[in-house]
Each structure stands twice: as C-alpha cells, then as structure tokens.
Amino acid sequence: MPAEITEVPQGTVTSPQGFLAGATYAGIRTYSEDKVDFGMLMSEKSSMAAGMFTTNLIRSPSVVVTEEHIANGTAQVIVINSGIANACVGEQGYKDAKECTAMAAEHLGIPQEDVLFCSTGLIGVELPMGLLKGAIPKVNLAPDGGHPLARAILTTDLRPKEYAVSFPHDGRTVTIGGITKGSGMIHPNMATTLTFLTTDAAVEPAFFKEVLRETVDSTLNMVSVDGDMSTNDSVIILANGAAGGEVISWDSDGAETYQRALMQVCAHLSREIARDGEGATKVITVIVEGARTLVDARKAAKAVATSSLVKTAVTGNDPNWGRILASVGASGAEVVEEKIALYINDVCIMEDGRPVPFFKDAVVAIMREQDVSFRISLGLGDASAQAWGCDLTNEYVTINSAYTT
C-alpha cells in the first residue's frame, strides 16, 4: 500500500526539520509597511543541493554564480533579493553576485561555495551593494522564517505562495516544503521563476537530481502566464537528511512516495503561480490525454494554456472551443481532427472533432468559476500532460504598460 501523503497546515519552506529562514527590508524596493525584499534560507548543516535554471541565453550573473556553487551538489544557504534582477549589467553583475555570497558566508561562518544567490526584479540596474551588506546581519534566521521569506521574494505577485507535505518513511516523518514567486515573464523552459524547495529526507544524489528534473518538467515547466521567459528563472532544492531513516534511492520503498510528494508540492505551487499571474482572475488547467507521446501531450497542453485568444475567451466566460482547437492544431503535436474530444469543466463540448449541442448558458455559468479546466482527448495514444495558465485581462495590459524601465 502506498504511503499516505498529508498536507502540512501552513506549510512552507521551513516546515522540514533543520531549516531556518528569515527576511528583512533592505531598501531595494519602494518602502511600504511590512515590505521585505531580502532574505535567506539556511539548512542547519550542509545539504545536498540540485537546481534547474533558465535556458534564456541572456541570464543574470546571480544564476551563473549559483550554478558554479551548486555544481558540487552541496549548499547550505540561499541568499535572495527581490526588486532588482542583476541582469544585463555587464561584468559588475558577476562581481556583485560573488560578493553577496562572500558577505553571507563570512557572516554565517560557512564556506562561500555553500552559498547560492538568487535575484528577481528589474533588468539593467546594478545591485545596491551597500544596502545588501547592511541587510545580511538584519535577517533573523528562525524555524518559522519561511513565511516572511515567501513574502520577500515577491515582485508584482499579490500573494505569497508556500506549501508543504509530509509522509511516513522508515518509521520517521519526512517533509517536503517549498515557496515560489511568479506573476509576469512566466513561460519556463527547463525551470521557472524562483522556486525554493527543501526536504529533510535523506536521498541518494542521482535519484535526488533526476526526480527534481522529472517533476519540474511536469509542473513548473508547464505554467505560462504570458509566454515570456525570464533571465533569472531558478528552481533549487536542498535536502539535509535531518529526518533520518533509510536513504531514499530508486531501489528503496520510499522512492515512489517521495516522487508523489514532490510532485504534489510543485503542482500546488505551479497552480498558485498561474492563479497569481499578473492581472489574472482565473486559473486555467489544460489536461491533454490520449496523445501519442508525452512530448505531444505537453506541447498541446502548453499551447492552449498560452494562447492569447483562449485566455481572453476565458476572461469573457466564452466557451470558444474553435480557439482551443486552433491552438491544439498549431501546437506541433500530432492530432487528427476527427478524433478530438473536448470537455470544459467536465461538460462535453465536442466529440469526434465536431461540436456537440450544448446549452451555452450553462457552460458560460461554469466558466464564471475561478477554476476553468479544458480537457482535450486526442484519441491517439496513452500519453497525458497538464498545463496551467491564467486569463488575459485588461489588468495585465495596465500593469505591464505602466511598469517602469
């Protein structure tokens, strides 16, 4: 019988044992009450670490330094600032990122190579190093510090996004937690946005990395807010083994539960990114099933979740299935028109590639819900995939035409 996975109430990135976090206001972003823009996540002891990073060829030096430091598979601290992306600033960006890790390492008394550094915010502005230096000692690292850290990493996000689950393993309780930020410039390839995951599981290195990649490909890489890929996208996971018990590897009993638990955390955070997309009022979940291959299923699901015409139809509560079909057909996935079926929140809209008579008012009413799902059955094979998106509203246009360089 598979082990039961349970949600941790108010779960966050410090829910797993042996992790501390904290945040402060460094002064990078415009001041407001309760505003925090700088923080740190720390494992009490050095942890295994793995990451996936933006495939954008224009990338922040913060990503470059983090990739260098994570290459040996271990890390203990992640330093994070919001407000400035530390991207497109020439050589200074690398020097600044390196110096941030040095300052944090010195303050905490750990090796510089065990410190990672992530930035998010405006492109083309240098980091205010004096402010960051002053902020490091102000961060109060605490066992419940995941909550302020989840707020510190936000930019135009409206809500912190945090989650954790636990499951029994070898007589112990293992926990996986995470926080993420999203909002705009969200359309990942290999890794999305800033996401920090932690676990107190003891895991075998190859298993640890492979499960991260598989999970991210199925979850965070399947979210799209606006089709734009950031220069700073990063997903990082730390595993400190504090829960003890048998080391989890591909061969061990806990492997399947660990995978399901990580999937649950990442899927939850992905949906929350879509829900909090810039200007979004609804989450769109696109399920493609019956595809010939997994690649086809993902292409089709992502194409629908990304289509501006589908997104605006959702804004208008309009079951405009023609737009859905057009984006599936253009997605690059193998499709045969006569085999396609489409369901909107489980109401069958089309079968065998033709619309079925449906009561439009009822479907419009369904689409007024905050969660709209499109299930598309291709009828060609066994592969399936999910993607998450959000509606495209006037508010998105307003936010992004008013955002300043």
Decide: 274 and 389 in contact? Cβ < 8 Å. yes
Candidates 8, 110, 131, 309; binder of a copy of itself (CB under 8 A) is: 309
- Can residue 58 be called a binding residue for a copy of itself (CB under 8 A)? yes
Does residue 155 carry a catalytic annotation? no
- Can residue 288 be called a binding residue for a copy of itself (CB under 8 A)? no
265-284: contacts with a copy of itself (CB under 8 A): none
Please tell me the count of residues contacting a copy of itself according to CB under 8 A: 65
Alpha-carbon radius of gyration of the chain: 21
Containing 328, the helix (H) or strand (E) segment is helix 321-329
- Can residue 318 be called a binding residue for a copy of itself (CB under 8 A)? yes
Candidates 325, 376, 385, 387; binder of a copy of itself (CB under 8 A) is: 325
62-101: contacts with a copy of itself (CB under 8 A): 85, 87-90
- Can residue 337 be called a binding residue for a copy of itself (CB under 8 A)? yes
With respect to a copy of itself, which residue has the nearer C-beta, 105 or 328? 328
Six-digit token pair at 305? 């979740």
With respect to a copy of itself, which residue has the nearer C-beta, 206 or 336? 336
Burial 48-62 (b: 16+ CB within 10 A, else e): bbbbbbbebeebbbb
- Give the CA angle between residues 153, 311, 281 to the nearest 5°: 50
Environment class of residue 76 by beta-carbon count within 10 Å: exposed (0-12), middle (13-18) or buried (19+)?
Answer: buried
Per-residue x/- track, 338-357, a copy of itself (CB under 8 A): x-----------x-xxxx--
- CB 334, min distance to a copy of itself, A: 8
Rounded to an integer, what distance in angstroms lies between the CA atom of residue 379 and that of residue 176? 36
With respect to a copy of itself, which residue has the nearer C-beta, 151 or 282? 282
With respect to a copy of itself, which residue has the nearer C-beta, 113 or 395? 395
Q: What is the SS3 assignment for 329? A: helix
- CB 366, min distance to a copy of itself, A: 14
- Can residue 293 be called a binding residue for a copy of itself (CB under 8 A)? no
Per-residue x/- track, 98-137, a copy of itself (CB under 8 A): ------------------------xxx-------------
User: Pairing state of beta strands 234-239 and 194-199?
Assistant: parallel
Q: Which stretch binds a copy of itself (CB under 8 A): 5-13, 112-120, 247-255, 320-328?
A: 320-328
175-194: contacts with a copy of itself (CB under 8 A): 184-185, 189
Decide: 288 and 297 in contact? Cβ < 8 Å. yes
- CB within 8 Å of 109: residues ≥ 6 apart: none
- Can residue 327 be called a binding residue for a copy of itself (CB under 8 A)? yes
- Can residue 396 be called a binding residue for a copy of itself (CB under 8 A)? yes
Instruction: Please pick, among 101, 120, 180, 192, the residue that the annotation labels catalytic.
Output: 192
Instruction: Tell me the DSSP string of 157-213.
Output: -SS-EEEEEEEEETTEEEEEEEEEE-SSS---SSS-SEEEEEE---B-HHHHHHHHH
Decide: 118 and 236 in contact? Cβ < 8 Å. yes
With respect to a copy of itself, which residue has the nearer C-beta, 308 or 370? 308
- Can residue 306 be called a binding residue for a copy of itself (CB under 8 A)? yes
With respect to a copy of itself, which residue has the nearer C-beta, 203 or 283? 283
Rounded to an integer, what distance in angstroms lies between the CA atom of residue 304 and that of residue 388? 9
Six-digit token pair at 340? 């396609």
Measure Cα distances from 169 to 145, 261, 379, 384 in Å. 26, 12, 39, 29
Rounded to an integer, what distance in angstroms lies between the CA atom of residue 365 and that of residue 82? 39
In the block, residue with structure tokens 């799209």: 224
Q: Which stretch binds a copy of itself (CB under 8 A): 13-21, 56-64, 97-105, 135-143?
A: 56-64
With respect to a copy of itself, which residue has the nearer C-beta, 74 or 400? 400
Which spans of this chain sit near a copy of itself (rule: CB under 8 A)?
A: 55-59, 85, 87-90, 122-124, 184-185, 189, 226-231, 306-309, 312-313, 315-316, 318-323, 325-330, 334-338, 350, 352-355, 360, 392-394, 396-398, 400-405
Catalytic residues: 192
